[in-house]
Amino acid sequence: MKTVDLLIKNGIVITMEGPGTGIINDGSVAIEGGKIVAVGETAEVCREYDGHRVIDARNKVVMPGFIDCHAHSCDAIVRGLAQDVDNWLYKAIWPITSNLNPDDIQVGSLLHIAESVLNGTTTICDMVYNADIIVKNHLKIGNRVILTEMIHENPSDIFRYDPMDVYPFDHSVGEGKFARCRKLVEQYQGYSDDLVTVMVGPQAINMVSLELMDELHHYAVSNDLHIHIHVSQSDRENVQVEKRYGKRAVPLLNDRGYLGRHVMAAHISHATRPEVKMMADSGARMILCSNSIAIINGVLPPAAEYLEYGGTVGLGTDQAPGNNRNNMFSEMKSSAVLNKYKLHSGTAFPAWKLLRMATIEAAKTVGLDSIIGSLRPGKKADIIIVDMTRPELSPLYLEPIRNVVPNLVYAADGSEVETVIVDGRIIVEERKLLHADLALLVNEANRHASEISKRLSAFDGLGNLPVAKFTAEGLY
């Protein structure tokens, strides 16, 4: 009998190993030094292992934490200020965020991370401005993070341009952000045994010059880093690059050799079918942000087609202003429901596939499937424990028929997550963050919101903000 750091026993263990969900009705997981050392039937695991600490997971699900493949925690401070709009980027989010300072962004980001982790996300793929500041938020809460400094060469008043027009690139902005990216890589790539991973992040091919894109691509490839980029996220993007270079976004990326297995592409929402195939064929992975893109654009990204072409798809929550939450349970359900509707089929996008797209397929999407995304000896212990005695998850059927996976995907909302473990370390217990005072974070965010409100009152673009109109008309 070996005594490990942590033994989770008697749970409904969903390993996400194999082609399905790898579920075990009565399973246990042994954890030592941040890694899983054993997972299997309780009778077998407990014959070999005891724990310095033991968690009894009877009537609870024990499963890999979610991997949110695409988030912008830097925007969370303006949650709820940008939705129900036409041209979200130019008319809502950019003019609003032009009123933010780095402190606002840092405080909002903490809230985003807190929400995400409390609802079962253990790895956040966070694409932000000021990544050197934001990384400290993730380290504070204790989750795993894949961090990307968002790099563009946009002028600061970009939202004052016609969205369908090209604008002059500001190369000094791009160089500054790229320098930040390189510094981040030097300081944090692989930090704390892969608790932090860094990616290279051109915001989109219409927002960086080809010269800078060449540099970023070369830097990523020569340093074995992945690229996290928005691809064909709007008609605007395609029109702008066509005006600049005579090609739409995906063919441009392809022709210049930017695509490939090292690319993780968000949205691809405005790509044609051949463009989707071109992306999938290149080995690039796709991130599906169903709630965000439906709310922002009224569009469902082509995940069904991407899968049809043999591509890999992971789920992401995107940003708080325009989702408006960062909860992978909500993404699983919305992604299922939207795709069933799109494909006119109740059997399309079944529950187990969604659970995979939030865990093991997401791990493949972010390129970390060798260390996270499923429960297997040798992998990192990134685990959540979910209370299955909540009314919306009850009753529980285990055999001869089981309702665990469909209830997790279609019925759970995240408030059922009791315990969150990252790298073998418990960071949420009894639904409380262990390394941050949530009430304090919320107070602090509210204080910043008051200051931002004052700034917005003096902002010359206030009257044009859709949220200002909705407020004035008594609708919001």
Nearer to its own copies, 18 or 33 (CB): 18
Nearer to its own copies, 182 or 431 (CB): 431
Distance CA 410, CA 151 (A): 36
Find, among 424, 386, 416, 388, the residue nearest to 7 by Cα. 424
Q: Under a CB-based contact definition with an 8 Å cutoff, are residues 180 and 149 in contact?
A: yes
How far are the Cα atoms of 16, 187, 229 from residue 69, in angstroms, in the given order?
17, 22, 12
Instruction: Provide the β-strand partners of residue 420.
Output: 384, 428
Cα–Cα dist 77/134, whole Å: 13
CA distance 473 to 351: 40
φ/ψ of residue 428, rounded to 5: -135, 130
Long-range CB contact pairs, 457-460, < 8 A, 24+: 459/95, 459/99
Closer Cβ to its own copies, 338 or 381, answer by number: 338
Q: At its nearest, how many Å lie between its own copies and the CB of residue 224? A: 35
Task: Please choose, from the candidates 26, 17, 36, the residue with its C-alpha nearest in 3D space to the C-alpha of residue 7.
Answer: 36
Which residues, in sequence order, are bridge partners of residue 125?
146
